[in-house]
Chain A
């Protein structure tokens, strides 16, 4: 269309180059250009009705031009629009006219329903292509316009090209029709055609061009050139055919092998399908048999109509005969309790509305009045729009299994109740020493309230590592030997420092084949007994030691005392009888000796007192305030002499103690408070404080105090902080106090500020 427009423009504006391209070539006539323009419009509107009008105009133009050139009748059409300024005649060539005629007829019949008609249109288009091709060859070979066939002498170059383009374009919608099918197709025939056509066309073009050039140059004669042309085309054709034949042969081979392969695969596939079908049938048979023996039936429920269908097994489970017609509401009524009815109704509603499937174990009453446990499974089926149309599922008689389960559960509850009731730790373990059963006592021991926190855990999870190792070793021994581990004393040291003692037996648990599957452990908590034992043992040791000490002190003091008394008596007699013979210095000696002897006697008496602190005595409940009264009475001389003030807490308790020892304890501490004084008046405060497990007493004085480095030493035997010159003392008193406190399962200590006074504390256990 654009080229046509340019040519028309060329005619109007009289620009020769646009009409003929080359001076030697014939020009495209205005009518030709107009016709092309119209053809272009036709192709533009290839679906619109206007195309028929356009082609009819082209047809008339073509026919009129034909008439003019064949009959020589001048219809004055040729220069109707513009005057030809190049050649004499503005008439389009007869070849061009025929082409337009054929093409326009082709376009008129091209959209016919009839296949034959379409093929005819094809033929017309192809003829146009051939005519224009011939014209093109003329140009290619460079043949002068005058040398060409008269018929197509003045078809312009661009006219030829446009005809080829338009005819090919017109054929495009019909690739499957006529000759074009051969070129477009992908089979071997098409390949051959495409290659051969191209080869032959090119061969003719090139050979023709070459031979024409040679003939013109006078190198070959006319006869020679014809022969040369024929031979060359033949050679090229032979080579081409051979190559193509080889290629086709190879492709054929590949195709054949592929066909074989395909055939084989097909055969295999068939065999497999057959096999699978058989297997499927067997599986379905097996499933049916299994379902029958497992008492599994099927059912469906139409959500819209509420129609229900039951399989034979489902009917058998309900104990109804084949004449029974179930529906949704009768189906629900079979369930035993109102709760079960509600549950199944809810499940169906949920499946229908939300597509949720269910799996429930419920009780039904059959048509025969028998109660049965059933398992019902249901799932919704949806149509393509996603609406639930059907609910289907299985229905299984699980009565026996359920009853066994219930019985087992009841037995287990009974067992649990039984083992929870006995005051012994009971547990079972599997081969990995994981707890599979524990009773209440065991839970309490572990300080756990929920049994789930213990089950499945091993000793390493539950007990400190050391205890767990020992326990695991015991377990392994039982598993390996298959023999019980009986009545052994074991202990568990918990991380909080608590130690629990047990007498443990571990009995292997075997299955019916005698293979050890785990063990049952029974532990009696003997911690209290063990504590008592330990206490008794301690007490026995203490008592033996005390006895020994008492013996030692007694003998020592007795044996010491005899020679001492002898010396004292003799010295006394010596000075009584012979004193008058001695001078003043000898008198001083006498006094020194007597003082030494007195001190020695005090020490020996102190030792005796100390040994007496270990003496056996009955426990008694006494009032501490009264006891202090007695102490003050026996210290009355010392108290009066020093002017000491003794203050007793008004609230002093009644306590269980060894009274003679306790009196000695208070007496020692109070007399110390009075003795170790500077110049001031001694002031002693006695108080008591109650704790959970003991009483704590405090004897506070306003004396000279003790430096902190001596806090421990002062309770040692014969330990004295002061010279005799300052304070009289044996170094036994506080050691004796410590001994007495120990007898009362207590402790004694001092807190003091040097120069301000000391607080002596001691405790007396309540549980004596």
Chain B
């Protein structure tokens, strides 16, 4: 399994962020872990980063201020160099087929996974995308 430079967790649920940060840290699959409480914070974070240090974004759908879908729309407007190397993964508790279908129709979305990830699922996700 390749060790990533940076993983961005975008979720308003702190428990969820804490759990995944702990899991990533425990598995040692990333140098750095960043967090954003909503889509807007995530956008700001990406814009402020020099070059393209973020390898993977784990994105929730239902969030206050800016939800996952709006974030995706805004994200697509970013210059290509800002997002060239980023893998976007939808991480949600939704099993709604509408959500699943919508996610798959978005070209920038690489994968759709249900919360919570455990060691085996995170490993197979990283191995399949990197």
Contacts and interface: CB of A to CB of B under 8 A. Distances in A.
B96 A566 contact: no
A75 B111 CA distance: 194
Contacts of A554: 96
B16 interface: yes
Interface stretch (A116-124, A139-147, A568-576, A744-752): A568-576
A612 B94 CA distance: 13
Contacts of A605: 95
Contacts of A612: 97
Given A561-B93, A605-B95, A608-B95, A566 B62 contact: no
Contact of B93 (A565, A570, A572, A573): A565
Contacts of B15: 566, 570
A568 B22 CA distance: 16
A570 B16 CA distance: 9
A558 B62 contact: yes
Q: Which of A561, A569, A572, A608 has the most CB of B within 10 A?
A: A569
A608 B62 CA distance: 17
Contacts of B118: 569, 572
A573 B25 CA distance: 14
A566 B13 contact: yes
Nearest to B97: A612
B19 interface: yes
A562 interface: yes
A566 B95 contact: no
- Secondary structure call for the B interface: loop
A684 B121 CA distance: 40
B115 interface: yes
Contacts of B95: 561, 605, 608
Interface in A606-620: 608, 612
Interface residues of B, number: 16
A569 B116 contact: yes
Given A565-B115, A573-B19, A558 B13 contact: no
Q: Which of B13, B62, B116 has the most CB of A within 10 A?
A: B116
A573 B15 CA distance: 13
Contacts of A572: 118
B19 A569 contact: yes
Interface in B84-130: 93-97, 114-116, 118
Contact of A562 (B19, B93, B96): B93
B100 to A, nearest CB: 13
B16 A566 contact: yes
A605 B13 CA distance: 21
A556 to B, nearest CB: 13
Contacts of A561: 93, 95
A568 B116 CA distance: 9
A569 B95 CA distance: 17
Contacts of A558: 62, 93-94, 96
Interface string A565-591: 110111011000000000000000000
Contacts of B97: 612
A608 B100 CA distance: 15
A570 B13 contact: no
A62 B80 CA distance: 193
A570 B19 contact: yes
Nearest to A577: B26
Interface in B22-39: 22-23
Given A558-B62, A562-B13, A569 B115 contact: yes
Contacts of B115: 562, 565, 569
Interface string A590-634: 000000000000000100100010000000000000000000000
A188 B11 CA distance: 155
A608 B115 CA distance: 17
A572 B96 CA distance: 25
A551 B118 CA distance: 30
Nearest to A561: B93
A274 B106 CA distance: 125
A279 to B, nearest CB: 107
A370 to B, nearest CB: 92
Interface in A504-563: 554, 558, 561-562
Q: Which of B16, B62, B95, B97 has the most CB of A within 10 A?
A: B95
A612 to B, nearest CB: 8
B114 to A, nearest CB: 8
A572 B97 CA distance: 27
A565 B94 CA distance: 11
A562 B115 CA distance: 8
Q: Which of A558, A568, A570 has the most CB of B within 10 A?
A: A558
A730 B118 CA distance: 27
A109 B46 CA distance: 182
Q: Which of B13, B22, B93 has the most CB of A within 10 A?
A: B93
Contacts of A562: 13, 93, 115
Contacts of B93: 558, 561-562, 565
A386 B95 CA distance: 114
A554 B99 CA distance: 12
A657 B2 CA distance: 51
A612 B95 CA distance: 11
Interface string A220-250: 0000000000000000000000000000000
8 contacts: A561-B93, A566-B13, A566-B15, A566-B116, A569-B115, A569-B118, A570-B19, A608-B95
Given A570-B15, A608-B96, 9 more contacts: A558-B94, A558-B96, A565-B115, A566-B16, A569-B19, A569-B115, A569-B116, A572-B118, A573-B23
Q: Which 6 A-B pairs have the closest CB atoms?
A: A569-B116, A561-B93, A562-B93, A565-B115, A566-B15, A565-B93
